[in-house]
Amino acid sequence: MTSDVNDTTDMANAADTTDTTDTTDTTDTTDAADAIAGADGAYAAEGNGNGNGNGNGNGNGDAAAATAAAVVAVAMAAARRPSARDQPLVWLAQKIGQSVTRLTTHAIALYGTAVLRIGYGSLYLIFLLHEYPKHESLWGPNAPWTPALNQQFANDPGLDWFAVDRWWYTFLGHGGNVWFQFWYHAAILICLLMLLGWRTRATSVCFALTIMAFTGRDVFLTDGGDNIMGLMAIYLAFSRCGAVWSLDSRRRRRQADKRRARGIPEFTWPDSPGWQAVAELDRTREEIVTFLHNAAVLVIAAQTCVVYAAAGLYKSQGSYWQNGTALYYTLHLDWFRPWPGLSNFMAGQSVTIAIVAYLTVFVQIAFPFAVFSKWLKYPCLVALIGMHFSIAVVMGLPLFSAAMMVGDAVFLPEGVWRWVGRKVGAGVARLPRPGLPRPAPSTPRSPEASVLPRQAQPHKSASH
């Protein structure tokens, strides 16, 4: 019991750079990251307790003992923690140390980033397949925006790009039609691999480069959907978006199962100093990667907030949004009227569209502040998703709307995604799988109830 307590405190202290005191409260770590990612503090605390217990070799030990140890550790830490009033600097240093420790050892929003990876991967895949019949006249060597025009545009001195940027931006225009076809199909494959999470780090970098290559080939073909997908793809390349719900995670799980079956421990500290240094280096790398992931999640969340805040604040300056007629004009734009009857009907509801216009502006401006309160966050998310859904249908912008909706996923708590994952997993498990052997049929109670003899009745088969 005593050793457990010590282990728990050491665990939290190990990466503590401040080193001011021995006591560290593992369960009461403040993390702004949780507010952003939507992870609930309860899960985090629970995870800390479990993680420490397993990490110290108690994996198969008594879980109750580990919990009790954690409780004791909390009580002891609470007793010895310096208060903010008595020693403000020590307290502050300790808090910062705890946050760094937490952010280098705990990846936030792993499910959220996985949803973004799957979402943007499949959206861009759908986009490329949907444009397939016209892809040559959109981005090919003979497209209206010719490679020569694109080159001239990318060399615009006002843009101040690096040579490598320029080169990549005109990449799809280089070479002939065969080259272009090759890259178009490679892009489709990359989207598929991104969606499946195969070798995700390398694939996510390729995915970001793919979107930027298409954006750069003709920036005048893009809209807000391409824009947000390109930005998010770049950010996702810095995240561990393949940690769950991916081929990578399946491979890691199988390798771990194999190791466990052979009785190889998860990790053994090497004997020689050289290999110990390598293991230490690997741990440091692991922590840096985790911190990078957390920073990427922060940037993704902040980018989404910037999108909504900018859109809302600019709208609030427009006279049509102020007098509530903005949607009337939007609904009359010929390029965004796939259902003229529906658009006309909605444009006629002047009171309703005025309320919706005000609501849109309010929710968009409020969003960056609402994410810090779960009472405001979820109503705002529901309103935004409803808004994007109606944009998708009424204005014929399904890809743009879906891209914006996927971006909201990072604000949902991990518990929701785990619940969704369980439901989907259960649903998939119930599906019939023709390729796999069926479970053995139960012994028939009577010859009539048996289904087997039917297959042995050649005179009734279709070929006779």
Partner 1 sequence: MSEPIEEPAAPIPEPPQREPRPQTPRPWWSRAVLGVAVLGISLLAMYHLTITFLTNSPTNTVSTKFATPIAKWVYPWFEQNWRLFAPNPMSQNFTIEARVSTDCYSSVTPWYNLSQMDYDTIAHNPFPGHTEQNELRRAWTDGYAATHDDNDVPTSDRGDMMRQYLVNIALERIKPRSAKDGVAPNKIENIEFRVTTTDIAPAETPNQVQQPSVHIIPWRQVAADVVSYGCPNGSVAP
Residues of span 255-314 touching partner 1 by CB under 8 A: 266-267, 269, 277, 279-281, 283-284, 286-288, 290-292, 295, 298-299, 302-303, 306-307, 309-311, 314
Q: What is the dihedral of CA 287, 289, 290, 291, to 10 degrees?
A: 90
Closer residue to partner 1 in complex, CB, 97/121: 97
Contact segment (CB under 8 A) with partner 1 among 55-63, 79-87, 185-193, 438-446 equals: 55-63
Is 368 in contact with 309 (CB distance < 8 Å)?
Answer: yes
* Tokens 């793809």 found at: 233
Query: Count of CB atoms within 10 A of residue 436's CB?
Result: 7
> Minimum Å distance from CB 187 to partner 1?
15
Binding to partner 1 (CB under 8 A) within 398-417 occurs at 398-399, 414-415
Closer residue to partner 1 in complex, CB, 270/453: 270
Distances (CA, A) of 133 to 128, 140, 171, 184: 10, 12, 21, 12
393 binds partner 1 (CB under 8 A): yes
Closer residue to partner 1 in complex, CB, 28/46: 46
How many helices (H) and strands (E) the chain has is answered by: 22, 0
> Minimum Å distance from CB 220 to partner 1?
5
> Minimum Å distance from CB 122 to partner 1?
14
- Give burial (CB, 10 Å; 0-12/13-18/19+) of 406: buried
Closer residue to partner 1 in complex, CB, 192/309: 309
Closer residue to partner 1 in complex, CB, 358/451: 358
338 binds partner 1 (CB under 8 A): yes
As a whole number of angstroms, the distance between CA 121 and CA 233 comes to 9
Contact segment (CB under 8 A) with partner 1 among 22-30, 198-206, 212-220, 451-459 equals: 212-220
> Minimum Å distance from CB 287 to partner 1?
6
Contacts of range 269-274, beta carbons closer than 8 Å, 24 or more positions apart: none
339 binds partner 1 (CB under 8 A): yes
As a whole number of angstroms, the distance between CA 135 and CA 138 comes to 5
Closer residue to partner 1 in complex, CB, 265/434: 265
Tell which one of 117, 217, 337, 377 touches partner 1 (CB under 8 A). Answer: 337
Closer residue to partner 1 in complex, CB, 351/462: 351
351 binds partner 1 (CB under 8 A): no
> What single-letter DSSP state applies at residue 459?
G
420 binds partner 1 (CB under 8 A): no
Tell which one of 76, 90, 347, 385 touches partner 1 (CB under 8 A). Answer: 347
Tell which one of 28, 46, 68, 90 touches partner 1 (CB under 8 A). Answer: 46
The interaxial angle of helices 63-80 and 2-13, nearest 10 deg, is: 60
As a whole number of angstroms, the distance between CA 33 and CA 27 comes to 15
Contacts of range 74-80, beta carbons closer than 8 Å, 24 or more positions apart: 74/25, 74/26, 74/27, 74/28, 76/5, 76/9, 76/23, 77/9, 77/23, 77/24, 77/25, 77/26, 77/28, 78/25, 78/28, 80/21, 80/23
21: left (phi over 0), alpha (psi -120 to 50) or beta: beta
177 binds partner 1 (CB under 8 A): no
Distances (CA, A) of 266 to 255, 256, 378, 447: 11, 8, 40, 52
Closer residue to partner 1 in complex, CB, 183/321: 321
> Minimum Å distance from CB 176 to partner 1?
18
9 binds partner 1 (CB under 8 A): no
51 binds partner 1 (CB under 8 A): yes
136 binds partner 1 (CB under 8 A): no
> Minimum Å distance from CB 62 to partner 1?
16
**HSE-up of residue 416 (Cα within 13 Å, Cβ side):** 13
Binding to partner 1 (CB under 8 A) within 139-168 occurs at 143-146, 149, 152-154, 156, 158-161, 165
Please give the angle made by the CA atoms of 196, 305 and 234, to the nearest 5 degrees.
40
Tell which one of 74, 110, 128, 365 touches partner 1 (CB under 8 A). Answer: 110
Binding to partner 1 (CB under 8 A) within 215-234 occurs at 215-216, 219-224, 227, 230-231, 234
Closest CA to 97 of 108, 112, 81, 113: 81
As a whole number of angstroms, the distance between CA 205 and CA 211 comes to 10
> Minimum Å distance from CB 182 to partner 1?
21
Tell which one of 134, 174, 185, 374 touches partner 1 (CB under 8 A). Answer: 134
